[in-house]
């Protein structure tokens, strides 16, 4: 597995990094203005990383504003409950 000198997780494309960004907001309960909000191309490895700096990623902003992330969180919680039975 490739490693970046920054020791950050590497995503090979912007699209995959954006999916991981949205997925992180679904899996974790970030407070408002907390957690990663954008992706960027690393100058060291040429791949993509998540960051909590800068303007919010447009896809993440749309998912948050539309309530899709909240709905997916709820769906995942119910799925987890059913798995435990």
The predicted-structure confidence for 9-61, as pLDDT tens digits, reads as follows 999 999 999 999 999 999 998 877 789 999 999 999 999 999 999 999 999 99
Q: Give residue 32's pLDDT.
A: 72
Tell whether 80 is covered by a domain.
Answer: yes
Tell whether 5 is covered by a domain.
Answer: no
Tell whether 3 is covered by a domain.
Answer: no
pLDDT value at 3 more than 90: no
Structural domains in the chain (count): 1
**Residue 40 belongs to domain spanning:** 14-84
Q: Give residue 1's pLDDT.
A: 61
Among 54, 53, 63, CA closest to 18: 63
In the numeric block, which tokens belong to residue 29? 């309960």
Tell whether 7 is covered by a domain.
Answer: no
- Answering whether pTM is above 0.95, one says no
């Amino acid at each position: 597995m490739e490693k970046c000198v920054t020791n950050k997780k590497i995503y090979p494309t912007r699209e995959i990094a954006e999916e991981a960004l949205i997925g992180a907001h679904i899996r974790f309960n970030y407070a408002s203005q907390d957690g990663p909000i954008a992706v960027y191309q690393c100058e060291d490895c040429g791949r993509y990383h998540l960051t909590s700096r800068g303007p919010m990623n447009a896809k993440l902003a749309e998912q948050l504003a539309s309530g899709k992330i909240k709905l997916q969180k709820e769906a995942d919680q119910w799925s987890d409950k059913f798995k435990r039975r």
